[in-house]
Amino acid sequence: MRISQEYFDELKGQKITAYTLINNNGMEVTSLDFGCIITKLVVPDRDGVLENVVLGFDTIDEYVTRSPYFGAIVGRFAGRIKNAEFTLNNEIYQLVQNDNSNHLHGGLKGFDKVMWETNVVENEDSASLVFSYLSMDGEEGYPGNLLMKVTYTLNNDNELIISYNGKSDQDTLLNMTNHTYFNLSGHVKRNIFNHQLILKSNTFLELDEKYIPTGKILEVNGTPFDFQIGRKIVDGVNSNHPQNILVGNGYDHPFLLNENNNNEILVMDSESGRKLTIETDQPAVVLYTSNQLPDSFSIRGIQSEKYLGLCLETQGLPDSIHHPHFPSSILKKEEVYCSVTKYKFSVY
């Protein structure tokens, strides 16, 4: 195992560092202390060719001005909160509106846009980056001083493990995820149409015209949302299902997971032979197929366009505070928020 660090860029006089974890198989994970952004993730194809399988940029200006959360940690709350407000302990909290009248992914300056303190931990068979950030009471409208730690661990089994740990001095909302856009073709050689997804989920959330959950939990059976035995992403792109059309011809939906920590999410690219297996303790995963990715910039020399990346955001359910039948995302005062998601790369 090796860890390297180098100057990445500068933002408002503050130096941003890129840290790279490298295992004995040549797998690399590069992340920044700005937003905990995973900017590169290099894994082998079936022929052993090492290529980057995530979307990212090479300058901080691109991340600040153009990035749709490429590779970033999202918080305090992943997903949307209706009308950017919620009631907790009989008190109304007004959040920042950054998605029309709604609140999205923690606000205008969520966890994806702040500097994190970074510590490096090296072991014989693994290496970790431990990111820490103190989110102050009232930040983006949320109550409580929240101490957040996010740990990226790479081991020699080609597993990237993301661990989340949070503690607040007041009751608050907390729903964390990582917003990496995967493209297993390597170096974005192709779009994700032919990526095959297997998902252990028989229900998903219905969305309204503003992408807010209506509260209805829908069955996947007989729809393009049924990934239980595998389905290509292009099925949702070409679908006439109202929910596929609603989000721009594709997917941007929370799926409730039937199982945890048991190969519940698999993505495969037959041409490269790469396979990604995701296991989590979270109740849901949001599948987003970059239907809204604009064509107004380039991604490391590749023209941006829809369907270049696949997000699998393991998390609690969006807008859960307004739906009592959803799993709660309330973090009680002095209780510890803990969550772990594992990403294992292999070939077939």
Q: What is the pLDDT of residues 254-306, one digit of tens each?
A: 999 999 999 999 999 999 999 999 999 999 999 999 999 999 999 999 999 99
Write the CB contacts of 284 (distance below 8 Å, at least 6 apart in sequence): 254, 255, 256, 257, 314, 315, 316, 317, 327
CATH number at residue 80: 2.70.98.10
User: Which residues have a catalytic role annotated?
Assistant: 179, 313
Q: What is the pLDDT of residues 111-129, one digit of tens each?
A: 999 999 999 999 989 999 9
**pTM of the model as a whole:** 0.98
pLDDT at 9: 98
Rg (CA), the chain: 19
Q: Are 320 and 328 in contact (CB under 8 A)?
A: yes
Letter for the amino acid at 179? H
Q: What is the pLDDT of residues 304-324, one digit of tens each?
A: 999 999 999 999 999 999 999
Q: DSSP secondary structure string, 156-191?
A: TTSEEEEEEEEEESS-EE-B-EE--EE-TTSTT-S-
pLDDT at 346: 98
Give the residue numbers spanning the domain of 341. Answer: 2-347
pLDDT at 155: 98
pLDDT in single tens digits along all 348 residues of the chain: 999 999 999 999 999 999 999 999 999 999 999 999 999 999 999 999 999 999 999 999 999 999 999 999 999 999 999 999 999 999 999 999 999 999 999 999 999 999 999 999 999 899 999 999 999 999 999 999 999 999 999 999 999 999 999 999 999 999 999 999 999 999 999 999 999 999 999 999 999 999 999 999 999 999 999 999 999 999 999 999 999 999 999 999 999 999 999 999 999 999 999 999 999 999 999 999 999 999 999 999 999 999 999 999 999 999 999 999 999 999 999 999 999 999 999 999
The number of distinct structural domains making up the chain is 1
Write the CB contacts of 281 (distance below 8 Å, at least 6 apart in sequence): 260, 261, 339, 340, 341
Length of the chain: 348
Q: Which helix (H) or strand (E) holds 15?
A: strand 14-22
